[in-house]
Structures are given as C-alpha cells and as structure tokens.
A = this chain, B = another copy of it.
Amino acid sequence: MKPTLPETSPPEKPAERLEPWRKAVTLNDVARHVGVGTMTVSRALNKPEKVSTPLRAKILKAVEELGYVQNRFASGLASGTSRIIPVAIPTLLHPVYIPMLEGIYSVLAQHGYQIILGTTEYLVTVEEQLVNAFLGSSPDGLILSGVDHSAKTIKLLKRTCLPVVEVMDLTDRPIVMNVGFSHYEVGVAVARYLCQKGYQRIAYAGTLTEIDFRSVKRIAGFQQTLKDYGLQYHFIQRSNEPFSIGLGAKLLDGLLRQYPNVEAVFFANDDLAAGALFECCRRAIRVPDDLAIMGFNDQEIAGSIVPAVTSVATPRREIGRVAAQMLVKQLQGQPPPDLQLDLGFKIVERQSTAAGKVTSECDLVQ
C-alpha cells in the first residue's frame, strides 16, 4: 500500500468530454420551455409548496421531458449547502471498515446526502491532504475514522466550524462529535477475560501495531492489565503486512517460534484468528486445549469456523448509522443532546477459549 493520495496539483490536461459534447439542460431551458421564470422552476423543485399545483405539474413534466438534472455545483455555490458528506476511512483493504461505511451510507443516502469516499492508509499526513481535498467540495459535514489527527488537520477543521464526527474510537477532546468505543478498554477487558480464564502465558498478535492508533490503544490496555494481574511477560507479535487470513498463520508461526509455551493469543482481528486456527488445524495444535485463540470485531467468520472463535463484538455498522444520524440531526438544526456516544463492545465467548470455567454467552462491558 502506498500512501499516494489526492495530490494537490496534478496538472492534467483539461478534461475532455466525448465528441458531441452536448451542453446539459439547465434550469433556464426548463423555464423557457414552460414559459415561466427560472425561480419558479427552482421553487417547484426545491420548495414544492411554494408553487401552485397545476404549474408544478407542468414544470415537473417538462423536467422529465427535457431530462433536466439539477446542477449541484451551481446549487451549492448559490445556496451554500452542498449535501455532500465526505467520509474518510483508514483503508478499503480491511473488511472491518466496510460495515461502518455501509451504516453511514444507508442513513445519509436516505436523507439525500452524497458521500465522497477517501482513505487515509492509517497515516495522519495522508488524512491531512484528504481533509484538505474534502473541504474543497464545501461539504455540509465530515466523518473521519479515528480521533488522532495532525495539528493542522484539527486547526483546519475547527476553523471551518463544520459538523465533524469522529468515529470508531473515543477521545476526550472531540473536534465536534464522536461515536465509537474505547479500544483501551477492549484491551483491558480481553486481558482480564483471559486472566480470569486462568491463562498465564498470554500474547497479542496483530499488524500495523505501531501506526494504527486504535491497535496501539488496545495493546496498551492489554499490557497494562496483564501487568496489573502480575503477569510480567506480555508478548506482542507484530507485522506490517496488510491484514489477511493467510497472515494469521504467519503470525502464529512467528509467535510459537519466539514464545513456544504460549497459552492464549489475542489476535487483532478475526481474519487473523481464523488463519491461525487453520494453521493450528494443519499442525494438529488443539484449540482451545493446547492454545486458546481470541479474535476481535466478531466478524462472521468467527462464529462460523470450527471451532468457533471467541471474539469482541464491535458495533461497527451501528457506529456508522449513529454517526450519520447525529450529523443529519445537526444539519437539520437539532443538535443531538450528546456530542459523544460510547457504543461499547461485548466479549462473545465461543469454543476457542472455552476450556476454562465460565461459559456465559456474552459479557457486557462498559
């Protein structure tokens, strides 16, 4: 993955339309066709109640006939509201952000907003450029993944005074709004869960463990809690390759090599956990008897695989939906009562760690 992103000045040739480039139908065309003023057509489209029913019918008919499509640029320029919400996610390569995106889309589309998509590749510098590019389309609001941004990004956003929602994580100082859950607390909860299960030699395995702020926070909570439980050796198996099932096997391999008598591993996501599980299968390592495996995000594979993998259910789609709803409310002039929402998470216990005592289905945290 290379972090090349919307360059500010890629001076390409002027865009050329296909040959018989026909000018788009304008409001004026419709107005003349019906024999009314442009404002009347504009109103008929945007504020139907302000135009008499028969006239409106005639106008709508003409719109249909001529194939008129409102030019959002002109409309946006004139009215100062674009109905565009850019959304920045870390990457499209990791399936975890898709449900969130879907949640956002489902709400925003319903309210007539268009979303502009961008990825940060987990880099605040890329995010900075991205936000800059986003602001160029006079958005009505923004949704950013994560709460860690460059100072410049924050300054830029604060100055615009636009409603911004930061999602997937929590922060003390949200730019405006914030919906997510605490990754630190996930680390704490998982470590506590594994300790209470009686495991002593516990490891974490993941990718991008240095640049993905959220995984950094999970690791921090995880390590701190292990320390609190008196376990001194908290092994972190790292990799910088992109997430994938196959990588789970590699991580497991590296882990076993350096920490042969590990008892339980917390993987940074379920794909990795699944890959590790498949590898255990090949190596005849029994799960959970020889090795307990725990995943993160409660993706579908966690529950389907045999043995099913204990995971941390995170409300990704819900986060997207709630974030979009907050934004819409805000834009409708009804600021939501809470500018910050902690949607929490749950440990979903399954067979991959069920060797111990407790076997409750869920363990609500937060």
Q: Which residues of A contact B (CB under 8 A)?
A: 2-22, 24, 45-49, 52-53, 67, 69-74, 76-77, 79, 81-84, 92-93, 95, 98-99, 101-102, 105, 109-112, 114-119, 132-133, 135-138, 140, 155-156, 159-163, 176, 244-246, 249, 271, 274-275, 278, 281-282, 300-301, 303-306, 328, 330-333
Contact = CB atoms under 8 A, between A and B. Distances in A.
A45 B10 CA distance: 10
Given A14-B81, A109-B118, 14 more contacts: A2-B53, A5-B48, A6-B109, A8-B48, A11-B46, A15-B83, A18-B162, A22-B161, A84-B137, A92-B101, A101-B117, A105-B117, A245-B300, A275-B304
A143 to B, nearest CB: 12
Contacts of A12: 111-112, 328, 331-332
Contacts of A6: 53, 109, 112, 114
Contacts of A83: 15
**Interface hub of A6, A117, A245 (most chain B Cβ within 10 A):** A6
A278 B300 contact: no
Contact of A77 (B7, B16, B73, B109): B73
A176 B93 contact: no
B24 A138 contact: yes
Contact of A95 (B74, B98, B274): B98
Nearest to A117: B117
A20 to B, nearest CB: 6
A187 to B, nearest CB: 26
A21 B275 CA distance: 50
Given A15-B331, A161-B20, A114 B92 contact: no
A22 B71 contact: no
8 contacts: A4-B109, A18-B163, A24-B138, A24-B160, A72-B73, A84-B137, A246-B304, A282-B306
Given A77-B73, A82-B73, A7 B110 contact: yes
Nearest to A108: B6
A230 to B, nearest CB: 37
A5 B114 contact: no
